[in-house]
C-alpha cells in the first residue's frame, strides 16, 4: 500500500480508501459482511474509511461504527452531510442549524466523539459560504471534527470557499471529493488544477465508473452489475454515450491485458497516478470485490500505458457528461434561469 499526505494537513493516508456507501440496504451488505470488509481493508493497510449520513439513512454510519469499535484511533474516519435526510425541508444543506444537529447524529451512529474529516456532500446554493464555514470552524474548535472538506463542488465554488475563509478569517476546506475515472476525466480540466493550486487533498469517488471498469461490463456480455439494477439507464446500450463508453472499455481492456494487468488495476492505477489525487475510494459490496480492488494498491502505470489511455479517452473529457454531479443549478432548473 502506498501512503500520501492529505493536502497540507500532515496526515498520512492510504492511496486506496474504503468507501462505505454499499454497507446496508444500498448494497445489501450485512453487518457481518461489512465488518469482514473493514477487517480485510485494515489488514491490507487501508487507513481511511469514508461514509455519509444519507447512505441508507444512517445505516452505513451505524455499521461502520460497529465494525471499527475498539480500533478507532488507527483509522482516518470521514463522513459527510448536506444531502437530504427524509422529507423535512431543513434536514439538508449547509446551514449552521442543520450541520450542528446532524454531526451529533453522525457521531452517535458511529459511536465516536469526533470524526477526522467532515465533508459537505454537495454545494448548497441556498446557504452562504460564511454561514457554513463558520459552523464548521466552531465544530472544529469544539474538537468534534479535526478537518473539513467539500465533495463534488464545482471548481469556481472551491475557489469562492477558499476566498470566503480568508476574508472572514475562518478555517478552510482542506479536501475535495470529486468523481473521477478513466471514463469521466472532466475534473482534469477544472477541479484538479484548482485543488492543486490551493493544496487540497483529493479523495476521488467512483474510480471504477459505477462498475463500467470492474470487468463486468463487456461487449456481448449480459450486464448484471449491482448498479445496472439500480440505474438501468446508465447501462442502456441504445444510448449513444453508453455505446461510446463500451467501445472505450473494450479498448482499455486490451491495454490492460497487454500490460499484464486487470481492468480494475488499470482503472485504479490511472486515477492514483494523477499528482493531484491523494486517494481513490473503492466501495466493495463483498470481500471478494475488495480483494480484486486491493490488487491495485501498488500498481504503477508506465508512461506508455498512460499514453495509450490518453489515446482512448482524451484528457479532460467526460464520456458521459449527463452524469456530471457538479453542474450549476441554473442549468438543471429552468426557474433559476427564467425570471
Catalytic residues: 55
Instruction: Say how far residue 29 (Cα) sits from the centre of its chain.
Output: 19
User: Dihedral angle at the C-alpha atoms of 332, 334, 335, 339, nearest 10 degrees?
Assistant: 130
Q: Which residue has the cell 474516519?
A: 77
> What is the CB neighbour count within 10 angstroms for residue 72?
17
User: Dihedral angle at the C-alpha atoms of 206, 211, 212, 215, nearest 10 degrees?
Assistant: 130
| C-alpha cell read off for 173 | 476546506
User: Dihedral angle at the C-alpha atoms of 66, 70, 73, 77, nearest 10 degrees?
Assistant: 0
CA 181, 20, 60, 135 torsion-angle sign: negative
DSSP-assigned states of every residue in 283-329 = --SSHHHHHHHHTTTT----HHHHHHHHHHS-TT-BS-GGG-S---H
SS (H, E, C) 151-163: ECCCHHHHHHHHH
Please tell me the distance from the alpha carbon of residue 95 to that of residue 316, in angstroms, as a whole number.
33
Q: Which are the contacts of 125, defined by CB distance < 8 A and separation ≥ 6?
A: 329
Please tell me the distance from the alpha carbon of residue 162 to that of residue 170, in angstroms, as a whole number.
10
Please tell me the distance from the alpha carbon of residue 258 to that of residue 306, in angstroms, as a whole number.
13
Please tell me the distance from the alpha carbon of residue 72 to that of residue 319, in angstroms, as a whole number.
39
Amino acid at each position: 500500500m502506498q501512503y500520501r499526505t492529505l493536502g497540507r494537513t500532515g496526515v498520512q493516508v492510504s492511496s486506496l480508501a474504503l468507501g462505505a456507501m454499499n454497507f446496508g440496504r444500498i448494497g445489501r451488505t450485512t453487518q457481518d459482511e461489512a465488518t469482514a470488509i473493514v477487517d480485510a481493508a485494515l489488514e491490507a493497510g487501508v487507513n481511511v474509511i469514508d461514509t455519509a449520513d444519507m447512505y441508507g439513512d444512517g445505516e452505513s454510519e451505524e455499521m461502520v461504527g460497529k465494525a471499527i469499535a475498539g480500533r478507532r484511533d488507527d483509522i482516518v474516519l470521514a463522513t459527510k452531510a448536506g444531502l437530504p435526510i427524509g422529507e423535512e425541508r431543513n434536514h439538508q444543506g449547509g446551514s449552521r442549524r442543520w450541520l450542528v444537529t446532524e454531526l451529533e447524529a453522525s457521531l452517535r451512529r458511529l459511536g465516536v466523539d469526533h470524526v477526522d474529516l467532515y465533508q459537505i456532500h454537495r454545494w448548497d446554493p441556498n446557504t452562504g459560504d460564511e454561514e457554513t464555514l463558520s459552523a464548521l470552524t466552531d465544530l472544529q474548535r469544539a474538537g468534534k471534527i479535526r478537518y473539513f472538506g467539500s465533495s463534488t463542488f464545482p471548481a469556481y465554488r472551491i475557489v469562492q470557499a477558499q476566498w470566503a475563509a480568508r476574508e472572514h478569517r475562518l478555517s478552510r476546506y482542506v479536501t475535495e471529493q470529486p468523481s473521477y475515472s478513466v471514463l469521466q476525466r472532466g475534473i482534469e480540466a477544472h477541479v484538479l488544477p484548482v485543488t492543486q493550486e490551493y493544496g487540497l487533498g483529493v479523495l476521488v469517488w467512483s474510480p471504477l465508473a459505477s462498475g463500467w471498469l470492474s470487468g463486468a461490463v463487456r461487449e456481448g456480455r449480459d450486464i448484471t452489475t449491482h448498479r445496472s439494477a439500480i440505474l438501468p439507464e446508465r447501462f442502456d446500450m441504445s444510448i449513444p454515450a453508453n455505446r461510446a463508453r463500451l467501445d472505450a472499455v473494450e479498448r482499455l481492456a486490451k491495454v490492460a491485458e497487454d500490460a499484464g494487468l486487470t481492468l480494475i488495476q488499470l482503472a485504479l492505477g490511472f486515477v492514483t497516478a494523477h499528482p493531484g489525487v491523494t486517494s481513490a475510494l473503492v466501495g466493495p459490496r463483498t470481500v471478494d470485490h475488495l480483494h480484486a480492488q486491493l490488487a491495485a494498491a501498488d500498481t504503477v502505470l508506465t508512461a506508455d500505458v498512460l499514453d495509450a489511455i490518453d489515446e482512448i479517452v482524451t484528457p479532460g473529457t467526460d464520456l458521459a457528461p449527463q452524469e456530471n454531479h457538479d453542474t450549476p443549478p441554473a442549468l438543471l432548473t429552468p426557474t433559476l434561469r427564467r425570471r
